[in-house]
Structure formats: structure tokens, C-alpha cells
Structure 1
């Protein structure tokens, strides 16, 4: 203010000085919705060479990540200009020679439910990982959180070099939107895709195994997570008690290519098409995939690990949520999106395919059996009874995914960097649900801990619906 007053008082002596009003973005505090919204900054030289940015000038402020980048052309607007004649003191003389008014950027409405977003941010707290909630009927993303987060306000003017270096060297990767970019083994959550594939191939409905804590395949013993075993196991029990031996056996009967066929039909190993930049595609292995990438033959023993969501299979949280949402919806596979299509220009709607729906065949009896089994996961006999919420019909599946071999983990029990990732995908009600939530708790060790995070968000959703008249 003092500098402005000085310039104003000495305008005649200092005609070369002028005050220009410049606007800057002000983002929510404490990294709230940071990965989803993204941030703006000066256009870089690299960006100026990319399609879509070639008409900008150095110094222009553009979207750099998240929604800010994805919808930059809508949000940015266009600069105005004014050509005038001035005298030797810098005062305007006569009428402007040319005046071109600025065009304001358009508003963009998101699908995010702020109450659910707050619940998700509070649920995950300072844990590493991600939480995503979606309406499985439409693909609307209702909440999206990635941890650790960052403050986009640091980028709104110009981020200090020290702060930037700290962000890019942090091993927990705060700039990575883990909801769409973390590619990790899904662990036992993958068993729901296995169960669906097994049912469609008429194998799972009659499969019964005796689990004594492990089983041998191709000369190697594969252990179950319950060392004493599960006893006699059918498909239903295999889901709610997450019996590895059942799914090892099912994987062996299906073979990798049939597993890959069904997993791919539910969108694994490919981008979901969500309207956010730099989405990762994940990995769904197959015989052809291994030959193409490694020039090696696929070994039957590798299929056994894939059956429990280990081995080469890798998913993003939004991918996994979409796939299991489709199974809960009797095969209806939607496109996740964060922008409300009603407020977008029609050409954007055509490009983004928000309303596209793919119907994957799912047998009705299989659908009932699998979703009923998933509803028992949160009951006393299931793997996540501590996440149960009385009065809410929640179905889901837990997963604990190794980041190193069990032998290596046993040698380094106190090394938190080697702890298993906890997963949970849950929805309510158990069939044709209104909301589905995927929780990734990195280093959380147990899927039941991820389940507690997800069910807090589901409870917030249900509570809000019940309060509405």
C-alpha cells in the first residue's frame, strides 16, 4: 500500500511507472482437493511446443496439473488489449486507437460432493495412499483424495526452488495423484474379478477345495494367509474369508489368458478415460504381454500368484474401483469423470465420452452369489468385521498386497517401507449400489484398516442421504 501511494503521488515525475492489477489463484488451504484441482503456473518452454499451447506467449499463466490443466482452454479465457497515444509524461491523448475487451474464462462445475470430500480427507488423515468415491450408475466422482498432499497456493505466484526440490525428491511423492497414477498390486481385491471370471466359465460354482494352509503347484508350495488353513472352502467362503488356496486353484484351472480376458473386459490394464491428465494404465499380464515386453514365455506357475492379485498385475485405485463397480452393477461399466457434463461445451462431451456405458455379461446367479459373499466380509466371520457399520448394507473386499517377497519382509519386519499395502473396495447397497469407495492405505499391512477408512466415507454418504427430505 505504501508503494502504491508513493507511485500515485509522484505520477507526473515518474510517468514510466504504472500500477497494473494482476489476479492470482487462491486455492483451498491445507492441500484440500489439491491433486484433483491441480494448480496454475507460467507456461514453460516445453509446453509452448505442445499442441494446445502453441498460441500462448511466454509469461502466460496456464493450468499445470489436475482440472486446471485438463480444462485449461475453458477456464483460462482470453486477454484483452488496448492501443493508445501518450504524451511525453505518459498521459493518454485522445481516444484509444484500438480496444479489444478481455474474455473471461468460463465456470466449471465439478461432480464432487463437498461433504463427502471432507469425510474422505478426514478419514485418510496423514496416512499415505488414496481414497476415491464414485456413483456407479453415472461414473461421477464424488470424492478424490491422495496423500501426502501439497499446497497449490505455493505455485500460484512462483514456487521457490527449495520448496520445489523438496516436493520432487520426497520419496512419498506428494505431487503424484495416487488415485489415478499409483500402479500397485491389488492383492485380494482382485479375487472378485477372479470369482466373476470363474463363474462365467462355469468353474467357480462347483469348485470346492480343502485349505490346510497352502497348496503345491508345479513343484512349489504356495501358502495361504491363514497358516492353519480354512478347511473346506466353496466360492462364498473363499470371498468373505479371502482363502488364497481356493483362488490359486481357480487361477490354475482358468489359465492366464482367460483371467486376462475377463480382467481386461472390466477395464484393467488400460486407462479408465477419467478427465484428469497423466492417468496411468496399470498392467494386466498375459502370455502375449510377456512375450511382447520381455521376449519370454509365460510359465504356468506365474498364473498362481496372479490369482490372488500378486505377480505382474498392477492397478490404480480408480481402475480397481471402476472394475468392481461394474461387477456390483451386473456388468455395467461406466466412465469415471470429475466435470459435470451439463456445463461443458458440446464438443467436450463428444471427446470425453462421459456417458458411454459398456455392458459386460455377468450371470445373474453369479452376481447374486458374489455380492452376497462380499456383504459378509464386514460381518464377524469376514476379514473386516471392525469396519462394520450397523444399519448400513455394505459389501466389499479387503486386500493386503506385498511389495516384496514374504521371506524378505520377514527379515526386515521393522522396515516400514516394506510393509504391505492395504486395500478395500466397498459399496452400498450390495447390488446396484448408490456409491462405491476404494481405499488404498500404503504400508497399512491389513485390508481391514483400509476398510475402516472407506466405510467412514460410505457412512457420511448414507447419513447425508437419510437427512434429505
Structure 2
């Protein structure tokens, strides 16, 4: 039996009628579909038309790499244009993080090829973790030819490795002039947080000390870049263009290489410092600090062994003692005492009986000799402590402090070097502020001979006594000629390194002559008679600064680290000198021991000046030929022949 077939029946509602979609819902669905289509079309328009250039640039970036071209650092020359600090070509290895596929897997091979521990690479990566991905990370500086060959041979396996040509610092050997020149190094995280380094990036090389630090903005130049085309493996296959690097500015320093060499030789084997300067201008002719260090060790990657060696040295090789060693000046301070006593009209008529010392306020203060009757003219060359004990007691601490402060004590000189210290000049206000105690009259006695709380640096002492010998004119010490530095940069240097600067103090002609004549007598019949130089108007003052108390008859020089510090300040000529030299020999004993050190430098200076003057005189007196055929001239022209000075010694 066949079953009857029926047509498909529509769904029936509860009331038995077919349901229909409401016209309103249908219209809403149509509008929704139309809106989605409009959005899709607008998005395609933005991607394909509006942002086409932007995406094209991003696509180019996938195949174009910007490689930095580092600017060579400016060179340093002495005052006569002789090269002091140069650069040498070097190759460094950088990591390009944009090329990394699986860096952790590559680390063992990279470490093996570059001969560095994996842990060191990981530490470097952590340090640069916050830096933008496009910035290359320095992995190893000054790589060897074998390491360069390794990178080239593994271009496909290690596309993240890139080499970069650089210019690295080449400093004089054996720490020559290291403290005044300074050194460069990779910028630290602490430096990056300072406003001075706001525009620097991790991995940048900056000046860390000395002239390198002070004039870093001029010396470092402006880096350039070059655009290269790379393939999918990061291999360079073409060039697009480049922005040339702007080399750093060369600088001419005020130091004289010949005088610096003489100073280095004179300080050989000693611990301490020396500074030689021209009191007329403040130009530093030589500066030495001992022991020294090798700045070449810092220019690449400082080894842990070398760092431990210098940081654990009790004599502090990194300290520039010419501007940072603040110690009692001993009897060299008697020149400041003489200046104060004469200007106060207290020393002219003083006559003191020296019987090997004197008692003040119930204490006996010793003198190293029994000088008999002493006046101011003999007190300086004989260096009679008893005379200056008496003068100090007569003047009082605040009067002494006034004249010493006028000469720049307890203030920075403003020399263009980082980390200069102020030293100390005690006074009643100073003691109240620092110790909340009153000043006792008996404390001034030891100040009179440069002991007690008085502390100075060699550069302060050279500037002060050079100023007295120049009739009261003091100049700001400096290592770079001002005309080498743009005006705004020079102003910034003066603001960064404030000091007492150029100034003139009151000094009557009679007092000036008395002091300088007495200092000249010191090198003839006084405490520095052993270094008298015939034919050279050489004046000076010795100073023996005891490390332990000088009171209660303790005149022993001591031994080892308790041995007295030996000071000497000398100049030539005695009035309006062309050179003043301050020497600190730590634990050197009697101040007379430092006098030969200064004498060597002054003798080298005077000898050179006379030789140059003689050469100039000969040149002026020798008639020049009208014309002399030029050697190797392509044009056949003739040039005048000019006599040349003799070679520097």
C-alpha cells in the first residue's frame, strides 16, 4: 500500500499560523551588514592608500640597517703643538638584537668565538635590557683579527653579530701626565642619570677624569651613520648613503712637554705631587702626581686584576694629589704669615729670642734650632719656628685666616679639572660651625708654622705664593688655553669649576720686596742653600709638616707613614716670576729634601728659555738670503729661508 505524500508544511505558531520576520528587524540587520562593509572598506582604504608610505618605510627597514659611524675623539697637544694623546684604529663587536632568532642558543658559540665568558654576555644584555631594540649592544671592544675572522665565518649562523670600526685613545706610556690628561671609559648607569649626560646613550665612551672629562663635549665630536642593504640573514649586500661623523675638536694644553718630562723625572720613585705654573697667566706648565696609573688600561675594558691592583694601593694612584691632597703645609705657610704680619704692621719691628723654642699658655713649643735673636728678614730663610709662634700669638687666628683666605686658602682655585678640594683654614667661626666649640688662644700657635688644622693642596700653595711674588696678583690656574674653547663652553667650565679665580690682594711694595728677597736668601744661605743655582735668580721656601704633634718638643721626623711630609715652593726670578713650582713629597722628611725636586724643574725651564732667547737673537742678527731654491717645488718658485730653532731637549 502506497503512503500518500504531502508537501512540506511551514512552521506553525501557537495559534496555528506561520511566523514572519518583522520588517523592523530585517531593516536593522541590513543596516548592520552595510555598516560592517563600510568599516571594512574604510580599513582597506587606510591600509592600502593612506598608510601606504608608512608601511613601505617599515618594509624598507626590514632590509635597510643603519650602522653608526663613530666620531674620532679630538687629539691633545702641548703648548708647542707636540702630540700628547692620539687615536688608533680599532674594531669592536656589537650585538644586533633585531637579527636575533634564539639568542640563548647562540650564546655558547658567541662566547667561544669572542673569548669571553657566557656570564659576561648575559650581564651585558641585562644592563641594556631597557634600551631600544634597534640600538646595538657592545659585546667586546678592540677585538683581534682571529675574532674578526670568526664573525665573518659565522655570518649565516650568527647574523646578530656586527663589527664596527672605531678610534680608540692612545695615551703616553708609564702613566706620563696621566692625572692631568685623565682617561675615557664607557658611560655608567649612574652617569646616565645625571643632567650632564642627558643626551648620551648606554655604551657611549666619555671622559672620566682630567682634561678628558672637563672638555668631553668638545673632544667627543658628533657620530654619523651609514645605511646599508642586508639580506634575510643580515649580511650586507649594498650601500644607500651615509651621514659623515664630525671629529672631536683638538685641544692645545698649556703644559710644556719639556717641563713635564723634567717634573716626571724629578718625582720618580716618590709619593706626592708637583705643580708648575706661570703666575702671570695661571697657565699650568707641568703637573705630576705619584704614584700614577696607566690610562690605556681604561680605554678598552678594564681588567679586574689591574683594577684591584690600583684600588688596593694605599698610596691611591687614582688621586690627583696636586689638587686633592689636602695636608698641613708646614713652614711654607710662613710666607703667608709674613705677608699677614707685614701688612698688619706687626712683623716689621719684631725681634724674637729663639732658644730652641718657647712656652705659650703653659705648653712648650719646640724649634729645630737655637737661632738666637731673629727678625723678619732672617726668620724666612732660617725658618725659625719660635718667631712665627710669637707672630701667630700676636696676630690671632681670625687675622691670619683673613689674609690666608684672601690668598685662596680653604677655597678651590677653579682649575679646570674635576674633583678639586678646598683645603682648610681654621678660624673661630670655622671651629664653631664644625665642632660647636669656641677657639682657644693656644691653638693659634701651631697654625703659625702651618700645622694644626691648616690643610692646603699643592696647587693652592703654588698659586698663593706665586701671587705674593707677583705683587699680589693671583690668576686662575688652567690647563687649556681659553682661546681654544668657545665662549659659552668656557663660561660653562668656569661655572662647573668655581673658585677664587683671578684677583688682586693688597701688598705694599716694601713688604713685597722684603718677602721675595728673604725667599731668595733661603736658597743662598738658608734652609735650601744646598740647591743654590749660580746665575739663576731662584727663590723659595722649605716646609717640614709633621704627621704627629709638633708641640711638647716632638721634633723627630718619624719613620714610615709617620715620617714628616716634605714641602717646597720655589720660583724664578724672585719677583714677578715666570714660573712657580710647588712640591709635596709625602713622608719625605725635611722640607729641604723637596728643594732639589723643584730646582730640577726650574733649571729645565730657565735653560730652555735662555736657549730659545739665544736662538731668536741669532736669528735676528743673521741676514737672510734674498731667495733660496725650494726643495721639491713643483712650480720652481723660490722661498725665503728662515733659521729654525734648535730641537727641544
Question: How high is the TM-score relative to the length of structure 2?
Answer: 0.69
Say yes or no: does 1:188 pair with 2:308: no
Correspondence for 1:431 among 575, 578, 585: 575
Correspondence for 1:398 among 542, 551, 555: 542
Which residue of 2 is the match for residue 389 of structure 1?
A: 533
Structure-2 change in CA distance of 1:234 and 1:58 (3 Å)? same
Question: How high is the TM-score relative to the length of structure 1?
Answer: 0.94
Q: For residues 176 and 365 of structure 2, what CA distance do their matches in structure 1 show?
A: 43
Partner secondary structure for residue 185 of structure 2: strand
Q: For residues 319 and 76 of structure 1, what CA distance do their matches in structure 2 show?
A: 30
Partner secondary structure for residue 364 of structure 2: strand
Q: For residues 156 and 465 of structure 1, what CA distance do their matches in structure 2 show?
A: 36
Which residue of 2 is the match for residue 260 of structure 1?
A: 401
Say yes or no: does 1:330 pair with 2:475: no
Which residue of 2 is the match for residue 197 of structure 1?
A: 340
Structure-2 change in CA distance of 1:22 and 1:267 (3 Å)? same
Say yes or no: does 1:149 pair with 2:285: no
Structure-2 change in CA distance of 1:45 and 1:4 (3 Å)? closer
Cα distance, 1:442 vs. partner?
A: 0.7
Say yes or no: does 1:303 pair with 2:448: no
Q: Give matches, 1:167-178, under 5 Å.
A: 167-178=310-321
Q: For residues 268 and 352 of structure 1, what CA distance do their matches in structure 2 show?
A: 21
Say yes or no: does 1:357 pair with 2:502: yes
Structure-2 change in CA distance of 1:12 and 1:461 (3 Å)? same
Which residue of 2 is the match for residue 111 of structure 1?
A: 254
Q: Is the 8 A contact 2:364 2:553 kept in 1?
A: no
Higher alpha-carbon Rg: 2
Q: For residues 228 and 332 of structure 2, what CA distance do their matches in structure 1 show?
A: 66
Q: Is the 8 A contact 1:409 1:419 kept in 2?
A: no
Cα distance, 1:363 vs. partner?
A: 0.9
Partner secondary structure for residue 25 of structure 1: strand
Q: For residues 201 and 406 of structure 1, what CA distance do their matches in structure 2 show?
A: 27
Which residue of 2 is the match for residue 232 of structure 1?
A: 373
Q: For residues 409 and 67 of structure 1, what CA distance do their matches in structure 2 show?
A: 45
Q: Is the 8 A contact 2:412 2:500 kept in 1?
A: no
Q: For residues 126 and 93 of structure 1, what CA distance do their matches in structure 2 show?
A: 57
Partner secondary structure for residue 237 of structure 1: helix
Which residue of 2 is the match for residue 138 of structure 1?
A: 281
Partner secondary structure for residue 62 of structure 1: strand
For residues 384-405 of structure 1, what are the alpha-carbon distances to aligned partners after superposition, in whole Å with 9 as ceiling and x for unaligned? 1111111111111000001112
Say yes or no: does 1:278 pair with 2:423: no
Q: Is the 8 A contact 2:364 2:551 kept in 1?
A: no
For residues 408-436 of structure 1, what are the alpha-carbon distances to aligned partners after superposition, in whole Å with 9 as ceiling and x for unaligned? 99799773110000000000011001100
Structure-2 change in CA distance of 1:124 and 1:51 (3 Å)? same
Structure-2 change in CA distance of 1:220 and 1:319 (3 Å)? same
Q: For residues 67 and 263 of structure 1, what CA distance do their matches in structure 2 show?
A: 29
Say yes or no: does 1:376 pair with 2:521: yes
Partner secondary structure for residue 21 of structure 1: strand
Partner secondary structure for residue 22 of structure 1: strand
Length, aligned pairs only:
465
Q: For residues 312 and 153 of structure 2, what CA distance do their matches in structure 1 show?
A: 48
Q: For residues 362 and 87 of structure 1, what CA distance do their matches in structure 2 show?
A: 77
Q: For residues 355 and 202 of structure 1, what CA distance do their matches in structure 2 show?
A: 26
Please, which runs of 5 or more residues in structure 2 have no aligned partner? 1-144, 616-649
Cα distance, 1:251 vs. partner?
A: 0.4
Which residue of 1 is the match for residue 433 of structure 2?
A: 292
Q: For residues 246 and 2 of structure 1, what CA distance do their matches in structure 2 show?
A: 72
For residues 142-170 of structure 1, what are the alpha-carbon distances to aligned partners after superposition, in whole Å with 9 as ceiling and x for unaligned? 00000000111111111112221221121
Q: For residues 50 and 17 of structure 1, what CA distance do their matches in structure 2 show?
A: 31
Please, which runs of 5 or more residues in structure 1 have no aligned partner? none
Q: For residues 410 and 123 of structure 1, what CA distance do their matches in structure 2 show?
A: 30
Partner secondary structure for residue 195 of structure 2: coil
Q: Give matches, 1:61-76, under 5 Å.
A: 61-76=205-220
Q: For residues 389 and 357 of structure 1, what CA distance do their matches in structure 2 show?
A: 32
Q: Give matches, 1:5-154, under 5 Å.
A: 5=149, 8=152, 17-92=161-236, 96=240, 99-154=242-297
Q: For residues 460 and 163 of structure 1, what CA distance do their matches in structure 2 show?
A: 34
Partner secondary structure for residue 463 of structure 1: helix
* Greater Cα shift, 447-456 or 399-408: 399-408
CA RMSD of aligned residues (A): 2.2
For residues 72-113 of structure 1, what are the alpha-carbon distances to aligned partners after superposition, in whole Å with 9 as ceiling and x for unaligned? 1111112223344422243556763x7433221111110000
Partner secondary structure for residue 570 of structure 2: strand
Q: For residues 431 and 223 of structure 2, what CA distance do their matches in structure 1 show?
A: 51
Q: Is the 8 A contact 1:138 1:355 kept in 2?
A: no
Q: Is the 8 A contact 1:273 1:352 kept in 2?
A: no
Higher relative contact order (CA 8 A, sep 6+): 1
Q: Is the 8 A contact 1:76 1:106 kept in 2?
A: yes
Cα distance, 1:8 vs. partner?
A: 5.0
Cα distance, 1:27 vs. partner?
A: 0.7
Which residue of 2 is the match for residue 366 of structure 1?
A: 511
Partner secondary structure for residue 52 of structure 1: helix
Q: Is the 8 A contact 1:409 1:418 kept in 2?
A: no
Q: For residues 328 and 14 of structure 1, what CA distance do their matches in structure 2 show?
A: 68
Which residue of 1 is the match for residue 390 of structure 2?
A: 249
